[in-house]
Homo-oligomer: A and B are copies of this chain.
Amino acid sequence: MSTALARRTASHEFRRAAVLDAAAEVFARAGLEGATMRAIAEAAGYSAAALYAYYPAKEAIYADLLAQSLDRLRRAVNGAIDGATDDEARMRAGIAGFLNHYRDHPRDLELGLYLFQGLGPHGLSPAHDRDLNNRLIAVLRRIADTIARFGRRDPLTAHGETVSVFAHLIGILVAERTGRLKTLDARADDLLARFLDGLVARLRGGAESAK
């Protein structure tokens, strides 16, 4: 019986993943507001009602989608860092990896911004929110490590610098995705380069600039 149950569970998880895939596709195609339960169901080859066997509400699909998206981001960032050879390169690679991942994967950006922005209509439950936060922190922690190492900063200082990096990255992404960058005749690449150069200079400069 236990085997049968396990099999059933595995099968269930398998189909849940298929639903999630379909949802991701719909989100990418129709945008966040246009992603209706019916559209997701159709993409998954189910009826709308069937979705409720896998997720209790639309909100839960969002949450799951976001979690996966943040994991993909983490893998991208980690991969970029691991592929670099010296400390400065690692720091630069991690930060650029963050930006490029989102630039290369608009779906994930869409989801990420939704998160950053606090999804108006139904909002996520606090539990979900905490979970997602932790996944984001995991990404940033790795970047903080490279900063601490390259800049020979203590963890606290490195953390402050990381948040600054994080804010800048978000700013670039938001500005680009909303067309303001094009309007202002600027490019994300250039912005990042400028910021990184400044960051490197600053970290090299003061042996220990306060927080």
Number of interface residues of A (CB under 8 A): 49
Q: A45 in the interface, Cβ–Cβ < 8 Å? A: no
- How near does chain B come to A134, taking the closest CB pair, in angstroms? 9
The residue in A115, A133, A170 that gathers the most chain B C-beta atoms within 10 A of its C-beta is: A170
Q: Which residues of A from 106 to 139 have beta carbons under 8 Å from B?
A: 113, 115-118, 120-121, 133, 136-137
Residues in chain B near residue A195, CB distance under 8 A: 164, 168
Segment with Cβ contacts to B, from A28-36, A63-71, A145-153: A28-36
Residues in chain B near residue A18, CB distance under 8 A: none
Query: How many identical chains are in the complex?
Result: 4
Chain A contact residues, majority secondary structure: helix
A205 to B200, CA, bound (A): 14
Q: Are the C-beta atoms of A168 and B171 separated by less than 8 Å?
A: yes
Q: Are the C-beta atoms of B166 and A171 separated by less than 8 Å?
A: yes
Instruction: Knowing A140-B184, A168-B167, A181-B163 are in contact, say whether A33-B120 is a contact too (CB < 8 A).
Output: yes
Q: Are the C-beta atoms of A179 and B31 separated by less than 8 Å?
A: no
Chain A residues engaging chain B, CB cutoff 8 angstroms: 30-34, 113, 115-118, 120-121, 133, 136-137, 140, 159-161, 163-164, 166-172, 174-175, 177-181, 183-186, 190-191, 194-195, 198-199, 201-202, 205, 211
